[in-house]
Structure 1
Amino acid sequence: MNTQRKTANPIVAGLAAVSLAMGSTAVLAEPRSYKIDDNHFAITFEVDHLGYASVIGMFLKAEGQFEYDAEARDVPSGTVVVQSASVFSNHEKRDEHLRKDDFLHSEQHPEITFEVTDFEPTGDDTGKLTGDLTMLGQTHPVTLDVTLNKAAEYPISHEEYTLGLSASTTIQRSDWGMTYALDPLMVGDDVHLRFEFEAIRDNNGWF
């Protein structure tokens, strides 16, 4: 992904380090740590209901962090933790049902987690991010299409270097054992997930 930084000539050194040719001085580039901004972070889901229309909802509580190497265009690691009980679809009884064992079983499985395992650039500002999604006590790989919208110092507020990203994927809920209302089909198996967030760079030092 392109963070609008000055282009350099990378030389592979191990898995994550990059040596930059800048005049006569070689500068070592390494992954930097980013924390997802709680105030600018949205997770939405969309699933078909009886073929009439899609139910669109959100998870209201989540946090995450990741490492990003801008020169190597790599995401060595990252974790997102979502509180399953924070599900919201603008319908109180439906949300209560979503928290029960037919769906998210929030009492027994309060957290949904995503752990980064791989990243493959597909363009200057796009890539495929693969990770392990754990939900309902089961873990399966998921690949998200990611777009880097902007990378720059924030113009207001904290004024720190910030990434703006969009990501999306589609999963089959039955892969995690969530089979309620599939036979007969009332609620679709495909769940479309979308993530919009800003992430602030940790300026305490290099990893």
Structure 2
Amino acid sequence: MKTSLFAAAATAAALTATNAAAAPEAYTLQPSHSQVMFTYDHLGYSTTYNMFAGWEGQIMFDKEDPANSSVEVSIPLSSLYTGWEARFEHFMKDEFFGAEDGDMVTFKSTSIEVTDDDEAIITGDLTMNGITKSVQLETELNMEGQHPMEDKPWIGFDAETTIKRSDFGVGAYAPNISDELDVEISIEAGKDE
């Protein structure tokens, strides 16, 4: 049975209320097991899948008070994988991103609301195509514990949200090609030593 980290954290915090509060601990995102996939409806005929990888970033994870945690990530726009080179090249043109070398997609949390034993809503600033908007990620803690191969503390999360691509200046062909993108995120992070 999955350990209920958020419930355990709340209990631990209550039991140690008279002790000094522990500070959040730094975990570095693992690019080999962190990705974001987004899908959109293509003219009603199909669902198109695309993925970003190559993450860099850090989670400041507070076991005793998960709401005191934070996350900050950056993803190279050039890491976009579409499965078809012509689509990637189209996305990088002025009609969409007008991409230049070094362009990044970034996310920085602004608040975390714990909603259940292992679930939270992470609100943060998403910056893409030079535009910043607040988004909410419905997030679930998958596991927290000692990684069996890395031999150090490890955490993993899944999250999902929906964003409007037109909010970020990449709304070409909407609404025929859906403006809304369904976004699924899965990440792993290892504790800094």
TM-score (norm 1): 0.84
| Displacement after TM superposition at 1:108 (Å) | 7.2
Equivalent residue in structure 1 for 2:170, among 174, 178, 191: 178
RMSD: 2.1
Q: Distance in 2 between matches of 1:164 and 1:147?
A: 9
Closer, same or farther in 2 for the Cα pair 1:45/1:113, shift >3 Å? Answer: same
Equivalent residue in structure 2 for 1:20, among 10, 16, 19: 16
Q: What whole-Å deviation, never above 9, does each CA across 1:94-116 have from its counterpart, x for those lacking one? A: 11101112222221771111111
The answer to whether the 8 A contact 1:167-1:196 is kept is yes
Q: How does 1:84-95 map to 2 (within 5 A)?
A: 84-95=77-88
| Displacement after TM superposition at 1:81 (Å) | 0.4
What is aligned with 1:14? none
Which amino acid is 1:45 matched to?
F
Q: Rg: which structure is higher?
A: 1
Q: Distance in 2 between matches of 1:192 and 1:98?
A: 17
- SS of residue matched to 1:70: coil
What is aligned with 1:111? 104
Which amino acid is 2:153 matched to?
Y
What is aligned with 1:198? 188
Q: Distance in 2 between matches of 1:118 and 1:193?
A: 19
Q: How does 1:78-157 map to 2 (within 5 A)?
A: 78-107=71-100, 110-156=103-149
What is aligned with 2:58? 65
Long gaps (5+) in structure 1: 11-18
TM-score (norm 2): 0.89
Q: Distance in 1 between matches of 2:13 and 2:36?
A: 36
Long gaps (5+) in structure 2: none
- SS of residue matched to 1:64: strand
Q: Which has the higher strand share?
A: 1
Q: What whole-Å deviation, never above 9, does each CA across 1:46-91 have from its counterpart, x for those lacking one? A: 0110011110011132211121111112244321101112211111
Structure 1 stretches of at least 4 aligned residues deviating more than 6 Å after TM superposition? none
| Displacement after TM superposition at 1:5 (Å) | 5.4
The answer to whether the 8 A contact 2:159-2:184 is kept is yes
Asked if residue 50 in structure 1 is aligned to residue 43 in structure 2, the reply is yes
Equivalent residue in structure 2 for 1:164, among 156, 163, 168: 156
Closer, same or farther in 2 for the Cα pair 1:2/1:178, shift >3 Å? Answer: same
Q: Which has the higher helix share?
A: 2
| Displacement after TM superposition at 1:130 (Å) | 0.4
| Displacement after TM superposition at 1:151 (Å) | 0.4
Q: Distance in 2 between matches of 1:119 and 1:96?
A: 36
- SS of residue matched to 1:192: strand
- SS of residue matched to 1:116: strand
